[in-house]
Chain A
């Protein structure tokens, strides 16, 4: 149990997928202008990441390894994730319309998100078992969401702050992202 707890703390804070491993930075800048969007994106990533993590793990364990095709991992994972997200989108549209309305526009964005792919690859590279994969996927997504929500909160405050003209817009966002990464760097060595 304590192993899982340690893994969770590591994935959320110490090895935060966004701020320590620099994966999935496009939505980090793109969807953090408003809190609603950031929360929606975080929810979408959580949903897709857990599904993709588990399914790619199953693919890896039962297909790639047994057929000795591990060198095809990258291309197979891309195919599986893309097909999965497409399927989930059509499925939700019909069966769970409220969830589709909430996550709908984020799902196609997530298809090509490197954070999803990165976590799937880490899961199999580190030889996690099924339970570990589940915990690592969930907590990585939580870490991703945490970074998004903090960033969105900061950027909403920035809208009313006096920012030097030269730093307005993307520049101050990049600087803030740098400081956030530094702050998360402070967790280094904890787990």
Chain B
């Protein structure tokens, strides 16, 4: 018994001595901050930051090559914790989110009957997919299978549904999608984008001077999601109530439905959801980028000035509007007043566009 005790004691002491010696002899300096920063990161190794994993990201942050806000997966709390370790001030990052650009799904005609592997990438290798529409979502759910955060599910129409609360903007879906249907963008990137002739857009959206995503808001209305429909319109057009009444709707002239019977009453639908927002008394808030510290003064509170203020505020500027009239609105209140737009509705509208609301970012 005693000899076992002595033997193990000696063995343990020798091992400890060797390890202690090795720790000194083979000492490699490593910034202790790397381990501290890595502890703050979520450890999902999603690669959304552009580095090989959370530890590589932590090394880059400590080396000063990356800002703590490169971590898109962790959200503000992680960024603040990592920045605190580094002693940096946090600048709030506008979140990137996945966004589906296709609204077709199973409605697109198919070229052939595909029986192979259930994966969009495999399908895309065969004559660019089975859809006649060459830019359509192929609907095999590769994005849903690969999303590391389970934010994507496949909907009824074989179109992915993105849960924006779970989406971290890591960009995995964009990478695996062979047709580029899913895009991971910041809100302001979408605001600043102008429709291009080669964008995959329905004729109505391509024609709309305000570039509103018309198929999407009609789809929202069809399913009774009026708030989402209002927000889809507000993404590109702050004056849905007025435009719903006075817009000459060039979209309806190019509506494909006209080939069959008559065009969809796109503008009437806009008027309907605009009235819905007004009559429910609500003011559905649009997404606004975090403050970027710049201040802008705008002279004139008419449609132009208001639009300018609206989009600048959404990009993160602090905006102040100046107008010689006691009320905002300009031509919206005077010229349209006696024609199409009811006075009641306009009074209701401008509550939301008051300067204080602009400053608070609640438009």
A binding-site residues for B, Cβ under 8 Å? 67, 69, 71-72, 75-76, 79-80, 83, 86-87, 90-91, 93-95, 159-162
Contacts and interface: CB of A to CB of B under 8 A. Distances in A.
A79 B11 contact: yes
A74 B353 CA distance: 77
A160 B117 contact: yes
Contacts, number: 46
B27 interface: yes
Contacts of B119: 160
Contacts of B22: 86-87, 90-91
Contacts of B27: 94
B18 interface: yes
A90 B20 CA distance: 10
B122 interface: yes
A8 B25 CA distance: 38
B8 interface: yes
B15 to A, nearest CB: 4
Interface residues of B, number: 20
Contact of B8 (A75, A91, A160, A162): A75
A173 to B, nearest CB: 16
Please indicate which of the listed interface residues A75, A90, A95 has the most CB atoms of chain B within 10 Å of its own CB.
Answer: A90
Interface in B117-162: 117-119, 122, 145
A72 to B, nearest CB: 6
B26 A93 contact: yes
A79 B23 contact: no
B26 A76 contact: no
Contacts of A75: 8
B26 A91 contact: yes
B259 to A, nearest CB: 39
A45 B360 CA distance: 60
Given A69-B3, A90-B26, A91-B26, A83 B8 contact: no
A87 B19 contact: yes
B19 A67 contact: no
A90 B122 CA distance: 45
28 contacts: A67-B3, A67-B7, A69-B3, A71-B4, A72-B4, A72-B7, A72-B8, A76-B8, A79-B8, A79-B11, A80-B11, A80-B15, A83-B15, A83-B18, A83-B19, A87-B18, A90-B22, A90-B23, A91-B22, A91-B26, A93-B28, A94-B25, A94-B26, A94-B27, A159-B145, A160-B118, A160-B119, A160-B122
A185 to B, nearest CB: 31
A162 to B, nearest CB: 6
B285 interface: no
Interface in B100-122: 117-119, 122
Contacts of B28: 93-94
A76 B18 contact: no
A75 B5 CA distance: 12
Given A79-B15, A90-B22, A93-B26, 10 more contacts: A69-B3, A69-B7, A71-B4, A83-B15, A83-B18, A87-B18, A87-B22, A91-B26, A94-B25, A94-B26
Given A91-B22, A93-B28, A94-B28, A162 B118 contact: yes
A65 to B, nearest CB: 13
Nearest to A161: B117
B12 interface: yes
Contacts of A69: 3-4, 7
Contacts of A83: 15, 18-19
Interface in B342-362: none
**6 smallest beta-carbon distances between A and B, as pairs:** A94-B26, A83-B15, A90-B22, A90-B26, A160-B117, A160-B119
Interface string B152-182: 0000000000000000000000000000000
B19 A86 contact: yes
A75 B118 CA distance: 52
A79 B9 CA distance: 11
A164 B362 CA distance: 47
Nearest to B53: A105
A161 B118 CA distance: 7
A159 B8 CA distance: 49
Contacts of B145: 159
Contacts of B15: 79-80, 83
A91 B18 CA distance: 11
A159 B122 CA distance: 13
A75 B15 CA distance: 14
A86 B22 CA distance: 9
Contacts of A79: 8, 11-12, 15
